Amino acid sequence: MSTTPLGRTLQRWVGAGLIRCCSRTSWAREREADMTTSLARVEAQGLSIAYRSAGRGPPLVLLHGFLCDSRVWRRELEALSDTFRIVAWDAPGAGQSSDPPEGFTITDWAACLKAFLEAVDVERGHVLGLSWGGLLAQELYRLDPGRVASLVLADTYAGWKGSFGEEVARQRLARCERESFLPPQEFVRTWVPAEFFTDASPGLRGEMAAVVSGFHTHGFRLMARTLAENDTTELLRTIDVPTLLLWGEGDRRTPFEVAERFHTSIPGSQLVVIPGAGHVSNMERPEEFGAHVRRFCLSDPGPRGSA
């Protein structure tokens, strides 16, 4: 029987029927080795921040969504590190990073991200934010626009308040706060795969289950609160760096009309729809997602030669 956290998680989900396999697979062994040896750590604004990095070249900063951490960027760390220096953090309140204090706001997260980027020597880079990470990318741009060479906003929001209105924002927040008290297995069954994917394979469901089962209750609630309270509609009109919008065709959490409003609001933005993908489009269609990110970032003048 496996004694590693990921191995134990996968075994639990085999028993629960979420992963249809009968023993630890080569995928599980490879991921355990990969994801337990590549973490590094720095201090930023009094918090311990875990992160993964790979490659050399222009920096590409990856910001995950809520309930997730840097593990969701495994494919980008592998596929894009031949061209870019990839930096993917575990946001405070997620993964292996410290929990932030009560009352932490999206501006606090952006200030911590800025300090983190200084600590890892990223003066300016391409910034890719998925879902909640896209809200964070927008706030980093507002706080420190000179640090952002270009933006890739994937399956994201202008805050729930900005994208759906106050009533929907309150409903989503109430659901997150209520379900954050569920037992881990029930919580994961509720969120994986329906909230993230369109037609995920058993392996993909298992991979996401392993990530979500380790979510921080406190961090999840705070992240949900920032989504519910924020409206970046006015900010979008001020963005004047090259911006790519990547959207899963079947995204149920952020419907396509949200993407269209982003596209209309951000001057000169590009909008690309990824067929057969849901909310976490980078995991469901990694080759298409990565190809669009590579094309866009290489076509932008961006930062040069930062190692």
- Does any domain span residue 180? yes
Query: How many domains, in total, are found in the chain?
Result: 1
Task: Give the separation between CA 159 and CA 228, rounded to whole angstroms.
Answer: 6
The pLDDT value given to residue 300: 58
CATH number, domain at 243?
3.40.50.1820
Mean pLDDT score, 283-299: 97
Which pLDDT band holds residue 38 (cuts at 50, 70, 90)?
confident
CA 160, 219, 48, 104 torsion-angle sign: positive
pTM given for the model:
0.87
Within a domain: residue 213? yes
Q: Is residue 32 part of a domain?
A: no
Residue 16, pLDDT > 70, answer no
Residue 8 counted as domain residue: no
Residue 116 domain-assigned (yes or no): yes
Q: How far is CA 307 from the centre of its chain?
A: 23
User: Quick check: is 35 in a domain?
Assistant: no
Residue 108 inside a domain? The answer is: yes
Domain of 262 in residue numbering reads as 51-299
> Over 60: is that where the pLDDT of 32 sits?
no
Assess contact for 155 and 248: CB atoms under 8 A.
Answer: yes
pLDDT of 93-112, one tens digit each? 999 999 999 999 999 999 99
